[in-house]
């Protein structure tokens, strides 16, 4: 089968022919239809991600496809089931073996392209806003990187939870996407004085930041007393240093959030969140935004779209 393989850190992965795997105990073999790309994939290529597999490995964390074979001890999901699954690697291939317990059945109405871009983005925002930030109806939510893969879902879910959403993104086109997802206020990150304009709107009660850098610093200064700042990631490449005295004076919570960590220490909360999200999708309450799709042979180009932040929503590779 064909797979997009990382042979060495810092070198460009390539599509190679490799042996098709067979499921071991507790695993299922999935005929992969689509794979969602994530910022973490770029870090894994360079060996700087917190959970980087041993070399060589097939890239791709977020997978959607059809169960084709079961390993020993597996009774569910059944052969023929349409599923999505998050793993550390293995998704950018025509088939792969994954832990059966991590598979989530997807609604019949959900296309594989949407399923492949759903779990991480929506799962991250849902657990971050509900479990960690305790976002309440009527609060003001500031989303940095609001047109990105996870940021856009934070806008959509925040609006669905009754928050007043301030979306920060680059350019009119991306801001229009954020508005369509439910944002009330739009700020262009290239031109807006984030601190001044957010304070003029009444300040932020919750900040959702997947970007870091100067945007984080400005957002922190615009956070209301008693507010919460959720640290999702650092797409800008700049990890801000948080002045503890500012947290103290304004009674602000700085909250770290790593969605993948829940699989190790609170899998039941992650499973409950994903179940709620799939139900919301089936009820027509969520509309995933796929910014671009590319075939497996164009995975390098797809990763470059992600790296350059040239598209809004998710980038998905199809098989």
**Which residue bears the tokens 């790296």?**
307
Does 298 lie in the same domain as 252?
no
- pTM tops 0.85: yes
79: in domain = yes
Low-confidence ranges of the chain (pLDDT < 50): none
Does 74 lie in the same domain as 109?
yes
Q: How far apart are CA 154 and CA 141, in angstroms?
A: 9
Instruction: Give the CATH number, domain containing residue 8.
Output: 3.90.180.10
Does 223 lie in the same domain as 104?
no
Q: How much is the pLDDT for 160?
A: 95
179: in domain = yes
What contacts 24+ positions apart, CB below 8 Å, involve 195-198?
Answer: 195/219, 195/221, 195/222, 198/142, 198/166, 198/222
**pLDDT, tens digit, 9 for 90 and up, residues 227-267:** 999 999 888 889 999 999 999 999 999 999 999 888 888 88
Dihedral over alpha carbons 13, 15, 17, 18 (to 10 degrees): 40
In the chain, the number of structural domains is 2
Within the chain, strands assigned E span 2-6, 14-17, 27-36, 57-58, 62-70, 82-86, 95-99, 104-105, 140-144, 164-169, 185-188, 204-209, 223-231, 253-256, 290-295, 314-318
The residue segments making up the domain with residue 73 are: 2-118+288-318
89: in domain = yes
267: in domain = no
183: in domain = yes
Does 228 lie in the same domain as 192?
yes
108: in domain = yes
CB neighbour list of residue 287: distance below 8 Å, 6 or more residues apart: 156, 181
Does 127 lie in the same domain as 256?
yes
170: in domain = yes
For the chain, the maximum distance between any two Cα atoms, rounded to a whole number of angstroms, is 60
Residue 249: count other Cβ atoms within 10 Å of its Cβ.
10
Does 137 lie in the same domain as 106?
no
Does 251 lie in the same domain as 131?
yes
Q: Taking CA 87 as the corner, what is the angle to CA 86 and CA 89, rounded to the nearest 5 degrees?
A: 130
Instruction: Give the CATH number, domain containing residue 194.
Output: 3.40.50.720
Does 111 lie in the same domain as 84?
yes
Does 247 lie in the same domain as 152?
yes
Q: How much is the pLDDT for 260?
A: 84
Does 85 lie in the same domain as 200?
no
Does 300 lie in the same domain as 192?
no
Q: How far apart are CA 235 and CA 137, in angstroms?
A: 28
Q: Between β-strands 290-295 and 314-318, what pairing exists: parallel, antiparallel or unpaired?
A: parallel
Q: How far apart are CA 93 and CA 31, in angstroms?
A: 9
Q: Between β-strands 290-295 and 82-86, what pairing exists: parallel, antiparallel or unpaired?
A: unpaired
76: in domain = yes
Does 74 lie in the same domain as 133?
no
């Amino acid at each position: 089968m064909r797979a997009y393989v990382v042979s060495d850190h810092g070198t460009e992965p390539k599509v190679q022919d490799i042996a098709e795997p067979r499921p071991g105990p507790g695993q299922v073999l999935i005929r992969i239809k689509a794979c969602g790309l994530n910022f973490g994939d770029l870090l894994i290529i360079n060996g700087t991600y917190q959970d980087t597999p041993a070399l060589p490995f097939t890239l791709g964390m977020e997978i959607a496809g059809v169960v084709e074979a079961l390993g020993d001890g597996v009774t569910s999901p059944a052969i023929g089931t349409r599923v999505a699954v998050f793993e550390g690697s293995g998704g950018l291939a025509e088939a792969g073996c994954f832990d059966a317990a991590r598979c989530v059945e997807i609604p019949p109405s959900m296309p594989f392209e949407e399923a492949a871009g759903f779990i991480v983005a929506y799962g991250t925002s849902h657990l971050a806003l509900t479990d960690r930030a305790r976002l309440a109806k009527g609060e003001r939510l500031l989303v940095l990187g609001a047109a990105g893969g996870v940021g856009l879902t934070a806008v959509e879910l925040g609006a669905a939870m009754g928050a007043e959403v301030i979306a920060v993104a680059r350019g009119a086109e991306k801001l229009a996407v954020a508005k369509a997802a439910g944002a009330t206020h739009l700020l262009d990150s290239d031109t807006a004085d984030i601190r001044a304009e957010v304070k003029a709107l009444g300040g932020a009660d919750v900040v959702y930041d997947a970007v870091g850098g100067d945007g984080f610093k400005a957002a922190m200064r615009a956070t209301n007393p008693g507010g919460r700042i959720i640290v999702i990631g650092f797409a800008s490449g700049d990890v801000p240093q948080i002045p503890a005295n500012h947290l103290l004076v304004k009674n602000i919570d700085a909250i770290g959030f790593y969605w993948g960590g829940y699989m190790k220490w609170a899998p039941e909360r992650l499973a409950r969140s994903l179940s709620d999200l799939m139900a919301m999708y089936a009820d027509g309450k969520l509309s995933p935004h796929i910014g671009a799709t590319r075939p497996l042979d164009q995975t390098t180009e797809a990763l470059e779209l992600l790296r350059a932040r040239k598209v809004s929503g998710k980038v998905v590779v199809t098989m």
